[in-house]
Structure formats: C-alpha cells, structure tokens
A and B are shown apart, each in its own frame.
Chain A
C-alpha cells in the first residue's frame, strides 16, 4: 500500500476513533468519581445512551433565538472535531498533519469558544450572559499560557507541527528537563480550565452561582445539546491526547508502519486516555472548586510556570551553545 493511502486511512481511523472513544472517557471519569464516593455510578455506556436519547428528542428553541443559536452547536462540534483530528493520537504523519500546526488547533478551539459564548448570549437570558462573560475571562487567561507552553515545546523541537514535536521527543534521549516539567504543570492547569473541570468549573452541577460552561448551554436541548455535549467530550480527549503526545509520546508510531503497528499504538493511546481519566476523577474528588475570582490567580500561575519554562529552556540553550 502506498504511503499516501496509509496516511489517508490512518487519518480516517483517528477521526472515527476520537469520536467513538470520547464519551467513554467522560463516562470513565464519572464512574471513577462515583465509585470513590461509594456510589455505584452509571455504567460506561450510559454516556452513549444519553447522547442517542438527546439526538432522538425534540429540540426546543426559545422564541428569541436567532439563526446563530441553531447553527452554533454544529459549528462548535465541527471545529472541535477538526482540531481533534490534528492532534497526534496513535500515529504521526497523517494526512492532515501538514495542513495545520498547533497554532491552528488553538485557533480552532478559540473559534469554537467564540461561537459558544455568542450562543450563550443569543437567547438573552441572564444565565447565558454570565456564563459567556466568565468563559471569556477564563479564556483570556488560559490562552496566553497555552501559547507559551506550546512555544516552549516548539523551541525545544524546532517546529510547531505537533506530530513532529512528538517524534522529536520520542527520539530525544531521556533527560531531566525542569522546563518541560514546568510546561507540563502549566498545560495541565490550562486543560483543567478549558475543559470546565474542578477547580475552575464543576461539570456535575447546575448550581447557578458556580456554573460557567453549563450556564452557556442551559437553553439547549435535543440534538443541539447532543452536539455540544459531544464537542466537550471531544475536547477532553483532545487535551488528554495533546498532553500525552507532548509529555508521554511513547507508543506513537509513524503511519507508514502499517495497521498492525497502529493497533499496538492505539492500545497504548487508549491506556493513556484511561489513565488520564482515572487521574482526573481522583483529582476532581480531592479538591474543592475555587471562587470564580480566584481562577485568575490559578491561571496566572499557569502563565508564570509557562514563562519560567521558556526562560529556563532559553537559558539552557544559550549557556550550552
């Protein structure tokens, strides 16, 4: 089989896989949390059934909603899905990998967030407005930190193409690099904030005063809600894969290695996802949610860590030259 065909098939596999696996990751996190609280918890497949049920149900749209309200869920889902297809999961050198680098991923996620915030304000309820305003506050703090982390990795690997960065770190000899550790901390903080996880937001409540993400999507129902839920599940998988491909890239294969190698690489990826979902569940149970106004300090910490990471890696480069 030619390499072009392999990269095409690999890309298709990845796009389908992220879609299929995403609800299970969210479900696993919920299951872990429930078990740690000594509840039985919903089974893993519950999230899938929820999505199917939502798709079948009638979508109720408020009278004051504009066309944007109907379009936004599909846009958000599509943007997130495309972004997820650019992150290396099990193979490098996929079809899309040369069409977009990590800056594009950040831009896609940023556009998805923009539409979500617009949709939150569209109906004109006060909850949607407060959710959008908080989401934008979090985003303005998280995005610079995210860009700094990514630039730090790009400085080390010499490219902003994520698959190439992953390849570089697979090939690089094992070393103690304090800048990478700092970048990891910063990226984890950003990922927690972007995915509306504790301590920034609580995905499990509908408590008025603490909602951010849930407040924006409060007006959605039926298939629109299904799209938004699926998009946020995809985003979680995207961030876990991003962190794994940058800091734990073992097992990622070049796409030319063939389907058998893909299978082992895919298993490694699934194991990483499951591990991250379990850690996320334990983490969410072990700490409390922050006040909204302390989030800026939390995310400011991410910015400081990312900046220090760049300073230190720059220092190493200059000193060793």
Chain B
C-alpha cells in the first residue's frame, strides 16, 4: 500500500465521515462547522493530489475550496443565522435512524457501482470517484430529508464538495470550469439567502414545510 494512496484515502474517508455527521447533526451552527471542516479537508485532499501528481493548477482549486467554502461561506451563513436569531434552533429531523441507514446504503451502492464501472483505472481515481459519488448522494439525501432551508443549502454545498473531489481524482475538469463552478456556488448562496429571508419574512419561519400551505392543490 503506497504512502500517496494512504493519505488521499484517509482524507477522502474523513470527508465521507463529515457527510454522515452532516446527515446526523440537528443543531444549525454545528452543521455549519461540520460543513466548514469538510471543505477544509477537501482543500487538503486537493492539495495532496496537486503535490503528488505534479499538477500545480489544482492548488488554485484547493485555495478556492479553502477560502470560499472553508471560510467565507460559513461566516456569511453564520451571520445570516445569527441575524435571523435561529442559532439555538434544533431542527426536528424525521427518522434519523432510517436516514442514516439509507445513507449507508447509498455509500455502499456508490462503491459497488464505481468499482464495477472503472476497472483498469488508477487506484486513486477509482477511490476518489467512489467516495465522491457517496458524498454527492448523501448531500442529495440531506436536501430531501431536511426541512430547514439552511440545512438544505448546506446539503447543496456539500454536493459541490463531492463534485470537486470527483474532478480532482479523475484528472478531467479544466481550471476555468472549476473556477466558474466555485463562483456560481457563491452566487447560488446569495440567491438562496435572498429566498430564505423572503420565506422568513412571509411565514415567520425557515421551515420549508410552511411553503406546503401555499400550494394550490390543498384546501
């Protein structure tokens, strides 16, 4: 087992653990911290790839992940949460046990899928892809199961973490695309934030369940 592989396996594994922690955690600020930790681990993983594979442009990706998702976005979201005064809220997560089991199933499924689909590819790329797919699916699961608008945003952002991890492993994504993805996520954050504030203004909560009431099909 090579040294290079071990470290990248370790970092990717930690990111997967962070994903599960996101799925489990019900305190808003703690969710935010875990997300920041995941982004920081992502930037470490990307820099490790850049260092060991001699692809210096990946350092830019790592720096983007660190600065935008590890520092800027969590700080902005934290300020929003404090402004809205919901930092002490504990979200009612429905069926944690079932959600976690589905998450485990998704992780196992993405592994089987990637292992089957990528025979012959280098070990690091296969491993990165398998874990990245798991992180993406768990992010989607988090967006489905959560009812709080903020945790849904964080689920979306963690999907993007998985995408970057997949892209660095697969030696594919050009730098331009990466930078534009990073900035579109930042822009998405502001769009989300505007919507969250609007929802809050109108319904006095950030629970998206409240939106169900304005659907036309219900009396």
Interface positions of A (Cβ within 8 A of B): 175-179, 182, 296-297, 300-301, 304-305, 307-308, 311-312, 314-316, 318-320
Contact = CB atoms under 8 A, between A and B. Distances in A.
A316 B38 CA distance: 21
Contacts of B111: 311, 314-315, 318
A246 B123 CA distance: 27
Interface of B: 1, 5-7, 9-10, 13-14, 16-17, 20, 24, 96-97, 100, 104, 107-108, 111, 115, 123, 126-127, 130-131
Contacts of A308: 13, 16-17, 20, 104, 107
A300 B103 CA distance: 13
B10 A178 contact: yes
Given A308-B16, A308-B17, A311-B107, A316 B100 contact: no
A86 B10 CA distance: 32
Contact of A319 (B104, B107, B108, B115): B115
A315 B123 CA distance: 10
B31 to A, nearest CB: 16
A319 B1 contact: no
A178 B45 CA distance: 14
A297 B1 CA distance: 35
Given A300-B100, A308-B17, A177 B123 contact: no
Contacts of A315: 9, 111, 115, 127, 130-131
Contacts of A300: 96-97, 100
A320 B2 CA distance: 10
B120 to A, nearest CB: 12
Contacts of B9: 176, 178, 312, 315-316
Across chains A and B, which 6 residue pairs bring their CB atoms closest together, nearest first? A178-B13, A319-B123, A178-B10, A176-B6, A176-B10, A319-B127
Contacts of B10: 176-178
B198 to A, nearest CB: 34
A293 to B, nearest CB: 12
A215 to B, nearest CB: 26
A177 B5 CA distance: 10
A188 to B, nearest CB: 15
Given A305-B17, A315-B130, 13 more contacts: A175-B1, A175-B6, A176-B6, A176-B7, A177-B6, A179-B13, A182-B13, A300-B96, A304-B24, A304-B100, A304-B104, A311-B111, A319-B127
5 contacts: A182-B17, A300-B100, A304-B20, A312-B16, A315-B131
Contacts of B97: 296, 300
Nearest to B111: A315
B95 to A, nearest CB: 12
B13 A320 contact: no
B18 to A, nearest CB: 11
A313 to B, nearest CB: 10
B24 A301 contact: yes
A305 B17 CA distance: 8
B6 A320 contact: no
Given A307-B104, A311-B108, A297 B127 contact: no
Contacts of A304: 20, 24, 100, 104
B200 to A, nearest CB: 29
Contacts of B96: 297, 300
A312 to B, nearest CB: 5
A163 to B, nearest CB: 24
A280 to B, nearest CB: 24
Among B1, B9, B97, B111, residue most surrounded by chain A Cβ atoms (within 10 Å): B9
Nearest to A178: B13
A178 B14 contact: yes
B116 to A, nearest CB: 10
Contacts of B6: 175-177
Nearest to B118: A319
A319 B111 CA distance: 10
Contacts of A301: 24
A296 B96 CA distance: 11
B126 A319 contact: yes
